[in-house]
Chains A and B, each alone.
Chain A
Amino acid sequence: MNGIHDMGGMHGFGPVEPEANEPVFHSDWEGRVLALNRAMGYSRAWNIDMSRAAIEVLPPEVYLTRSYYEKWLLRLEQLLIDRALVDSDEMAAGHALRPGKPLRKLAAADVGAALTRGSYGREPSAPARFKAGDRVRTRNINPVTHTRLPRYARGRVGTIECVRGCHVFPDSVAIGKGENPQWLYTLRFEGRELWGDNCDPNLKVSIEAFEPYLEAI
């Protein structure tokens, strides 16, 4: 989706403003939102790419003006409604009006293990098409659904730096089409290939690119 979330290379957002001695959470509710998202993620009612996609479809004016954890709350509410895990009359009432559906529930005793990221590596069904050192071009794709090929890196020639293994394919799993595992590569670009001749000659940028994003040249 060519959404506002795809920010690489945009101008006009101003300087980066680090906050001295920034707390982990600025308010208690931020921690609760994070924890609610993690606990519901554990239920497997959706996967990580579905949750990313649910942020990406927020209207641009909402995306740009709400804080990070406000967006996490909006995303969580929408995922719950979309999957009929909570009904809108319950959201309005602020409490449950009917029993929940059976879901895997995160118990306190399992929190430690649940905070470890899962593995996204999968058995390949075919050999990798590319190897380190190969020159490839990224495809010019513009799917209306979730993708992890940023706009600034489409239709660009780069060099495969590393084969990362075969991984769950976000473009498929985000829309419920299964894991569809694909080879994943670190693909390195010269800055000038991305940004033109005025770019810093000593800049290199890499993306993590799934094989369906790439074509041989």
Chain B
Amino acid sequence: MSRDHGDHHHDGDQHAHGSDLSEMQLRVRALESILTEKGYVDPAALDLIIEAYETRIGPHNGARVVAKAWADPAFKRALLDDATAAVGSLGFVSRVGDHLVAVENTQHLHNMIVCTLCSCYPWEVLGLPPTWYKSAPYRSRAVIDPRGVLADFGVMLPAETEIRVWDSTAETRFMVLPLRPAGTEGWSEEQLATLVTRDSMIGTGLAKSSLAKSAGEVAP
């Protein structure tokens, strides 16, 4: 996971995920007991929330949105006009929360999404954010050095490409509509969706090449 094991911040993460694991488990279990006994929460509801984020609500939803926008010009216009309504019309989530905005990459413009103040992220279409999205390195650098951040992801763009960073400082939620890869003319929406990565919808990656073979799952 780490490319720099001496990084103090990363050591903090290992601490949290390693030696303190049982302590955290006990502490969370105790709090859940208290809240259940006081009648504030129903453990069955908690199970369903976790299940939803582990199965139904994830980047595969966003990948379907992007694939449809690539394949269907009318849907793409609707998506860029009102993403809340357009995504809601697909019916794979019960309803999309308000204020979803899709921003389109072009040959000359690359969009990137961040929340410098906390961790705002379009949960309905992308699921829960990855750890790096919530981390200090990403939140601090995305707005001042987005090309450096892209380099961390192995993405190099021409110097003349405009980089547009969207800081999610209110309840507006953004998703990136990445560039459609070359050589995908005539592909079905299902085939196109296999090229759409989570990171391409955040703006820290590009859609996979049409030559990518191991399709079938949403890669990072």
Contact = CB atoms under 8 A, between A and B. Distances in A.
Interface in B10-42: 10, 12-13, 15-17, 21, 24-25, 27-35, 37-42
A111 B137 contact: no
A44 to B, nearest CB: 12
A86 B38 contact: yes
Contact of B28 (A29, A195, A206): A29
Contact of A27 (B24, B142, B149): B24
B171 A167 contact: yes
Contacts of B97: 116-119
Interface string B40-56: 11101111111011100
Nearest to B10: A17
B10 to A, nearest CB: 7
Nearest to A164: B172
A95 B26 CA distance: 12
A32 interface: yes
Interface string A190-214: 0000110001101111111110000
Contact of A105 (B40, B50, B119): B40
A121 B98 contact: yes
Contacts of B30: 91, 94-95
Size range of the chain B interface in the assembly? 35 or more
B34 A35 contact: no
Interface stretch (B60-68, B162-170, B183-191): B162-170
Contacts of B106: none
A126 interface: no
Interface in A12-47: 13-22, 24-29, 31-36, 38-40, 43
Contacts of B85: none
Given A119-B98, A203-B146, A210-B170, A13 B220 contact: no
Contacts of A118: 97-98
Nearest to A146: B117
Contact of B169 (A67, A76, A149): A149
A27 B23 CA distance: 12
A131 interface: no
Nearest to A205: B165
Contacts of B159: 202
Which of B45, B124, B166, B170 has its CB near the most chain A CB atoms (within 10 A)?
B170
A186 B96 CA distance: 21
A48 to B, nearest CB: 8
Interface of B: 1-4, 7, 9-10, 12-13, 15-17, 21, 24-25, 27-35, 37-42, 44-50, 52-54, 57-58, 93-99, 114, 116-119, 123-124, 127-128, 130-132, 134-144, 146-147, 149, 152-153, 159-173, 199, 204, 220
Given A76-B31, A117-B97, A204-B162, 4 more contacts: A27-B25, A39-B40, A52-B118, A91-B34
| CB-based closest 4 A-B pairs | A117-B97, A100-B38, A8-B116, A208-B170
23 contacts: A6-B116, A7-B116, A7-B136, A8-B140, A16-B135, A17-B2, A17-B132, A17-B152, A20-B220, A22-B131, A35-B45, A36-B28, A39-B41, A40-B35, A64-B12, A95-B34, A103-B39, A108-B42, A115-B57, A116-B97, A120-B171, A152-B143, A195-B144
